[in-house]
A and B are shown apart, each in its own frame.
Chain A
Amino acid sequence: MLSQPATPAPPPFLEIRNLRKSFGGVQALKDVSLTLEAGQIYHLMGENGCGKSTLIKIVSGAQLASAGQILIDGMPTGTLAGDLGAIGALKAGIETVYQDLSLLPNLSVAENVALTGQLVAAGGRLARRLQRAALFDTAAQALKQVHLPGDMAFLTRRTDSLPLASRQLVAIARAIAARARLVIMDEPTTALTRQEVENLLLVVRRLLDQGVTVLFVTHKLDEVKSLGGEAIIMRDGEIVAHRPVATTSKAAISQLMTGREISEARYRTGSVTGAPLLEVSGLSQPRAFHDLSLSLAAGEILGVTGLLDSGRNELALALAGVRPAASGRIELDGQTIWPKTPGEAIAAGIGYVPEDRLTEGLFLEKPIRENVTLPVLDRLKNTFGMISPRRARALAEAQIAGLQVVAPDVGAPVQSLSGGNQQRVLIGRWLTINPRLLILHGPTVGVDVGSKDTIFRIIQRLAGEGMAVLIISDDLPELLQNCDRILVMRQGAIAASYDAASTDEDRLYQTMASGSAAAPAREVTA
């Protein structure tokens, strides 16, 4: 399309012609054409539900296209892309690191890294000897390239026992081991801390140096900028722009994606009005955090960040009653509370939006109505102990209207919604209990800029209404844009507290990542 060379040259590595895909009535892809050259990096960007994942799934053979063609080195792979099949795509050198990493949890690291290679060599036929020695060799070499240990102890570990960042690298090592020519990564950095992201970007650059083509899907514009290459921007199942990253500003990309302007400015406009609402003192949990103290006022937005093992997640879970702390004291509005289950936290007026909305938050095949009304079912009872359908519907409708959820009906299953709308349904659930304290854990993970904008506005509105909001996140811009204060956690303790208006990403990041020896840059006491 746009970057087609004018002179007859060797055919492009991968060419997609007029690809279409529809699910029932939904046109996920409408006539997508695209050319990828060897050794280049491409960023596939667009709002939630614009069709990025669908495009990737078709190229990697996981789904069948409705119409269209895919050519590799100028050779058609069949009239329909799906003819490639998973094994066909792998054979053609296309490796995909899916959003969920696609690691086999119960198999060892070595098997996860090197099994695909043997499977492809066997042409997908399973009646073959397992080459055990080769398996370990290949895996060890590939792991070396992503800076993971290649010793027997690590090679034989089950992958579900690894930390997330290592799993991400194992997935990339798999692509290396398979000698992929095209590596597709679907939002690989959503769950990584900045250090880990840096590490990953390094690996990506090395892949490019080796002549591998990379197709990168992300919602984080900073990463795009840092990697360079070409931006492919999708909207509503179509490619609306294809331009070099270097010459396109972040604002321009946002606008292309959403069709409207998104400000980069701080959302936080209000100020803390209320008295201290949450007082945590001396909170400890072995192997997670120790002697934490913090306070949060009504109407205040407090951010908490830190590396993955800093104890921030455990703090969130402890306050939400999912995994109670071992010792310490939590006071909410002058009352001492000690939530041992989520139910008790809810009763105390704490709402918790978990990190992973798909597995921890939502009931995907259930209607929006039930997803929203879960915490207040008892309140919807009429005199016969029966949930009043009218009241349930009214409540759910009020919530999704207030949060601008785009949905046909509150009876529609949540899985029919896009990521940003799903997240808003989840927030809506907690608003039904009018929480005194709302804990948002990674509120915009995997959410596009447009939806982010909406969610941030909602958060500000809630704070304005006097709710105390605790945002736990590793998305530093998000914290800077929304919070009054930001606590940085490190090795289970609060390393520093910053005034969000007067600090920046670098300083936060240095505090997070500096060793325990280095003193925090500047302590601000609230």
Chain B
Amino acid sequence: MRNLDRQTVFLALINIIVLLTGGWIAGANFLDSYNLQIMASQVPELGLLALGVALAMISGNGGIDLSGIALANLSGITAFLIASQLIAPAAAPMAFSWSFAAIALCVGLTGGLLNGFMIAFTGLTPLIATLGTQLLFTGIAVWLTNGSSVSLGYIPPLDDFGNLPVLGVPLCFALFVIIAGALGYLLRCTPFGVRLMLLGSNEKAARYGGVPVRRMIVLTYTICGLLASVAGVVIAARAGSVKWDYGSSYVLIAILIAVLGGVKPEGGYGRILCVLLAATALQILSSLFNFLGISNFFRDLAWGVLLLALLASARVNLSLWLRPMR
């Protein structure tokens, strides 16, 4: 128990330290409310995908979701193509936005179900299954758009959702936090979450203990798909356009965030709050680098080092040094 708290505190501290260091060396602009809002509104795309990866990892059995960003893009593209057929965005922007979101969620649900079924019923390892669906989703997106990006145009409600702060908090960030909160609640406090953790810790024992393993796996990856489609809506809202290869660098970054957040890649353990804190820490760090005009290559280097350092910190036994000398 104490161990868990240590990690949360550690990540929270990183957030605060980076933020303060930023304010100190990058100037007051870094800490003003506008920049905080910008950083907050940048977190959800990646954060949602990282939550999906975390969930897949927790379910165990080599769980991972490589198809997240591909599904997010496909959701956005399909939703736009269908919704703009049904409703003219300019005429009824609100109705358009809602139907856009609804269709995107349906696509995410379908894609997640496909992942879940592939993994639960064919015995395909998640890595290969989601690699296959990643290509499939990307491929469909390319086919639908002929490879070019699709511009949504300026649709006020969507744009507001992506960028407008309400009471100082960007809407999409608020949604992200709410989703993360719900997910955290689901994992920690509900029978589903406890079963998922147990399933990830020992699949056979979970089956013998009456956990409906396949249903759980399908459900888990469906949630991952839904998270991806929400990310798709956020992307569409913020970029004002959708394209098949948007965020192609996100696949590995999402895994990075999940692992930085302390999710055990072998399954059975992970905390949503930590994943959230890892996502914000990475965001603040990367914004800081942009503020300082530090090369983006160097930022990637820093992330790699951070990941290894975090893995190493789990290996270092602090009590070894804290023990008084004999």
In the complex formed, the residue of B with least CB distance to A382 is: B189
Which of B189, B206, B211 is the one whose CB lies under 8 Å from A387? B189
Task: Give Cα A341–Cα B211 distance, bound, in whole angstroms.
Answer: 9
> Which A residues are CB-close (under 8 A) to B211?
343, 374
Interface of B (DSSP majority class)? helix
Q: Range of interface residues on chain B?
A: 20 to 34
Residue interface mask B191-234, A partner, CB < 8 A = 1: 10011011001101111111110000000000000000000000
Check A360–B205 contact: CB distance below 8 A: yes
Stretch at the interface among A80-88, A245-253, A363-371: A363-371
Tell me whether A324 is interfacial, beta carbon within 8 Å. Answer: no
* Nearest-neighbor residue (CB-CB) of A385 within chain B: B190
Contact with B along A386-421 (1 / 0, CB 8 A): 110000000000000000000000010000000000
Tell me which residues from 344 to 376 in chain A have a Cβ below 8 Å from any Cβ of chain B: 345-346, 352, 354, 359-366, 370, 374-375
Contact check, B202 vs A381: say whether CB atoms are below 8 A apart.
no
Nearest B-chain residue to A388, judged by Cβ: B189
Cβ–Cβ < 8 Å partners of B318 in chain A = none
Interface hits, A239-298 → B, CB 8 Å = none
Q: What is the CA–CA distance of A15 and B198 in the complex, to the nearest angstrom?
A: 45
A377 within 8 A of B: yes
User: Do A370 and B198 have beta carbons less than 8 Å apart?
Assistant: yes
CB distance from A351 to the nearest CB of B (A): 10
> Which A residues are in CB contact (< 8 Å) with B269?
365
Task: Give the distance in Å from the alpha carbon of A249 to the alpha carbon of B42 in the complex.
Answer: 76
Q: Is B268 an interface residue (CB 8 A)?
A: yes
Residue in A343, A354, A361, A370 whose CB lies within 8 Å of B210: A343
Interface mask (A109-131 → B, CB under 8 Å = 1, otherwise 0): 00000000000000000000000
A429 at the B interface (CB under 8 A): yes
* Least distance between A287 CB and chain B CB atoms (Å): 22
B301 within 8 A of partner (CB): no
Chain B residue nearest in CB terms to A353: B208
Is the CB of A322 closer than 8 A to any CB of chain B?
yes
Give the residues in chain B near A366, CB-CB below 8 Å: 197-198, 201, 268
Are A387 and B202 in contact, with the CB atoms below 8 A? no
Contact call B212/A377, Cβ cutoff below 8 A: no
Is A446 part of the binding interface, using a Cβ–Cβ cutoff of 8 Å?
no
- Please report the C-alpha to C-alpha distance between residue A354 and residue B198 in the assembled complex, in whole angstroms: 17
Interchain CB contact under 8 A, A378 and B202: no
Interface check A342, CB cutoff 8 A? yes
State whether the Cβ of B143 lies closer than 8 Å to any Cβ in chain A.
no
| Contacting pair A362 B190 (CB below 8 A) | no
- Counting chain A CB atoms within 10 Å of each CB, which of B190, B191, B207, B208 scores highest? B208
Q: What is the CA–CA distance of A366 and B191 in the complex, to the nearest angstrom?
A: 15
**Chain A CB within 10 Å, residue with most, of B198, B209, B211:** B209
User: Which single member of A354, A361, A387 contacts B190 (CB below 8 Å)?
Assistant: A387
CB neighbours (8 Å) of B202 from chain A are 359, 362-364
- A411 near B205 (CB under 8 angstroms)? no
User: From residue A323, how far is it (CB to closest CB) to chain B in Å?
Assistant: 11
With A343-B212, A374-B210, A387-B194: A365-B204 Cβ-Cβ less than 8 Å: no
Shortest distance from the beta carbon of B157 to any chain A beta carbon, whole Å = 32
Any chain A CB within 8 A of the CB of B154?
Answer: no
CA–CA, A345 and B210, complex, Å: 8
Report the separation of the CA atoms of residues A60 and B268 in the bound assembly, to the nearest whole angstrom. 32
Write the chain A residue with the least CB distance to B191. Answer: A377
Q: Taking the complex as formed, is B166 at the interface, i.e. its CB lies under 8 A from any CB of chain A?
A: no
Q: Are A429 and B197 in contact (CB under 8 A)?
A: no
What are 30 A-B contacts defined by CB distance under 8 Å?
A: A322-B207, A341-B210, A342-B207, A342-B209, A342-B210, A352-B208, A359-B202, A359-B205, A360-B205, A363-B201, A363-B202, A363-B205, A364-B201, A365-B269, A366-B268, A370-B194, A370-B197, A370-B198, A374-B194, A374-B198, A374-B209, A375-B209, A377-B194, A381-B191, A385-B190, A386-B185, A386-B189, A386-B190, A387-B189, A411-B1
Interface residues of B (CB under 8 A from A): 1, 185, 189-191, 194-195, 197-198, 201-202, 204-212, 268-269
- In order of increasing CB-CB distance, the 9 nearest A-B pairs are A377-B191, A343-B210, A386-B189, A346-B210, A363-B201, A342-B210, A374-B209, A363-B202, A360-B208
**With A360-B205, A365-B201 already in contact, 15 other A-B pairs whose C-beta atoms are closer than 8 Å:** A322-B208, A341-B212, A342-B208, A342-B209, A346-B210, A360-B204, A362-B202, A363-B202, A366-B268, A370-B198, A374-B195, A374-B210, A374-B211, A375-B209, A429-B209
